[in-house]
Amino acid sequence: MMRTSIEMNEERMCVTGAGGFLASWVVKFLLSKGYAVHATVRDPNAENCAHLKNLENAAENLHLFKADLLDYNSLYVAITACRGVFHVASPVPSAPVTNPKVELFEPALNGTCNVLKACTKAKVKRVVVVSSIGAVMLNPNWPTDQRMDELSWSDEEYCKTIEDWYCLSKTEAESKAWEYAKKNGLDLVTICPSLIIGPMLQFTVNASSLFLIKILKDGINSDQRMVDVRDVARAILLSYEKPEAEGRYICSAYMAKTQGLVDKLKTMYPKYKCPKRITEAEDQPKMNCEKLQKLGWEYITLEESLADSVKCYQEKSIFDCLAGEKSF
């Protein structure tokens, strides 16, 4: 049901990094539910914001703000007058990281800190921060016979040892967010999604979609826990709208083996040239998503997510690379 204009003004939301893969869907769902949205982007006039302006109800209820995660004042301007904030913006590298401090740690840690400080000053009702399963899974001390749940945190020293800078940045950023929230009485919820797949609203290929395409194109053996982007966006909204929501939430739907993905794709789209043989990878730790499901979260099937991903890639002439017609 659409809200009245008065209710929409009272329920004004801010989404950081609004032009990105996941954040675009969060904006879309918020607008469809009648919320007014403050969307932070690097350049409101850039072409990569066009898809946001074309969303349903965007003309009336979407307001683009030029902001940078490392610029507190720009964030505060966007967050002011908002009852809820969805901090989605965070670097996800699509290539090997050469300067972890600049590429990952500064935007992840300092950016999150700036957002939370702005939320405190603006007296925001609740903040939802998107973390990652990377802040959960690299825990060598977790019992091997037990599914990982929200009590598991990636071991920072272990992340440093194996030089997994992305997981380390997500772990440190989420940990600092919880320290800040508890110290300052901020109502915080964090969502920890696995690899996100599904159709894109934006025009450019994002890191996780590119990763999926490379797996299918090159036969890279990388068994992954996956979840559809629309289901993550719904989980984010659910964690804001449900008063009983609290703490961390693992958001992952499927444990997808590369060979299984390729086999499904061959059946669905026989014209594409997929890898024939893929070496098996080591088993990945199992995840427990019961906490999020108890909140009312459901997810679509892997087949539906793959089909919608492929359709999107076809429409944007991206998926042709699997037919050998293009390469990245």
Contact call for residues 310 and 257 (beta carbons, < 8 A): no
Q: pTM value? A: 0.90
Whether 3 shows a pLDDT value over 90: the answer reads no
Q: Which two tokens stand for residue 247?
A: 């703490």
* Residue in the block written with tokens 């999107």: 312
Average pLDDT over residues 235-258: 94
Domain ranges of the chain: 5-197+226-254+286-298
Q: What is the pLDDT of residues 82-101, one digit of tens each?
A: 999 999 998 777 667 789 89
Catalytic residue among 33, 53, 125, 170: 170
Contact call for residues 282 and 178 (beta carbons, < 8 A): no
Q: What is the pLDDT of residues 151-179, one digit of tens each?
A: 999 999 999 999 999 999 999 999 999 99
Residue 170 appears among annotated catalytic residues: yes
Greater confidence (11 vs 152) lies with 152
Among candidate residues 172, 142, 169, the one with its CA nearest the CA of residue 285: 142
Give the pLDDT score at 256. Answer: 76
Of 59-68, 91-100, 103-112, 201-210, the poorest mean pLDDT is in 91-100
Long-range contacts of 163-167 (CB under 8 A, 24+ apart): 164/134, 164/138, 165/97, 165/100, 165/104, 165/105, 166/92, 166/93, 166/97, 166/104, 166/132, 166/134, 167/132, 167/134, 167/135, 167/137, 167/138
Q: How far apart are CA 276 and CA 256, in angstroms?
A: 17
Fold of the 5-197+226-254+286-298 domain: Rossmann fold (3.40.50)
Average pLDDT over residues 109-129: 97
